A = this chain, B = another copy of it.
Amino acid sequence: MSDRDQLDERKVTILKAIIKTYLETGEPVGSRTISKYTDLNLSSATIRNEMSDLEELGYIMQPHTSAGRIPSDRGYRFYVDQIMQEKEEEVTEIKDMILKRVDRVELLLKQMAKLLAQNTNYAAMISAPQFHRNKLKFIQLSKVDEEKLLVVIVVEGNIIKNTMIPIHTELDDEGLLNLNILLNNALNGLTIEEINLEVISRMKVQAGPHSDVVDRVLGEVATAIRGDDDDLQIYTSGATNIFKYPELSDGERASKLIGTLEQKDLLQGLIDDVNSSESGSGIQVYIGDEAPVKTMKDCSIVTANYELGEGLRGTIGIIGPKRMDYEKVLSTLRNLMTQLDTILKKDER
């Protein structure tokens, strides 16, 4: 039975009014308030009856007898799915930011997180792109000193990774040059899946005595791309914004929440979940217990996936109280995504 079946138009109006006022004030909403706030011209008594029904149906609840009503998780869900309509929310400044430095992704991400946190007054998180089906663009080996080789790996979207690997066998400049050419010829333009055993063994044969270097480099390419070197690239900003919302800012809760934001590995679960359940528009809303992170059960989380290049995906998330301004957050995120999209499309070649 769908929500619409349970609720007649009047109930929807009232529910809407309750949620809207609660979003604004953060205080339980009473029947008298609704009676005045709506243009239904109903007495508070009638509203009370309706509210009683709505409570029975699970859309609203009372913090205690003789208090007004507040939305339940289900109420919020209904609001987000059925009632709400997005505003037009512009995120300016983004264009400047991006145009300035497409070449330093992690800086861009940090700034974007900050911007989002400031714009929304909630906490923001953003994960660095995970490059699954992503093409290798360029590899460069350089001899830094007699014993160390610098490996620079550039992936589509201009993500750069460096690592040092030790040199075991003799390696002169010419050999290095050949190795560079070999690696680039063999690997450039390939996705991680396309670097299969065939490609690898062919390379090793060609590399001759330096096949161990090839091995190491491939290892680095793999870890670099899988990104599983316990360096979870997740940036957060505006954690302290949660202090603006009394329902989250008592010691216990605040500590746990901020702790979660700090300890990025917990956020990874969230990101994985987003990626696995992949909704149509790419924007997803988690309300209360719906969130895959238990410490955030008193929060709502809005996530969006962004895409830098082909298969180069990351996740943005806004974390705030359940009574967050969903309209604003959703449209801010949507705006950000389209801006990102158009700008990055232009930048592609």
Contacts and interface: CB of A to CB of B under 8 A. Distances in A.
Contacts of A154: 144, 150
A258 B239 contact: yes
A230 B162 CA distance: 21
B138 A107 contact: no
Contacts of A240: 255, 258-259, 262
Interface in A108-158: 110, 137-138, 140, 142, 144-145, 147, 150, 152, 154, 158
Given A138-B150, A243-B251, A229 B144 contact: no
A160 interface: yes
Nearest to A111: B230
B150 A144 contact: no
Q: How large is the interface on A (under 10, 10 to 19, 20 to 34, 35 or more residues)?
A: 35 or more
A270 interface: no
Please tell me how many copies of the chain the complex holds.
2
A168 interface: no
Interface of A: 103-104, 107, 110, 137-138, 140, 142, 144-145, 147, 150, 152, 154, 158, 160, 162-164, 229-231, 237-240, 243, 249, 251, 254-255, 258-259, 262, 349
13 contacts: A104-B163, A104-B231, A107-B230, A110-B231, A137-B145, A140-B140, A145-B349, A150-B154, A239-B262, A243-B254, A249-B251, A251-B254, A258-B258
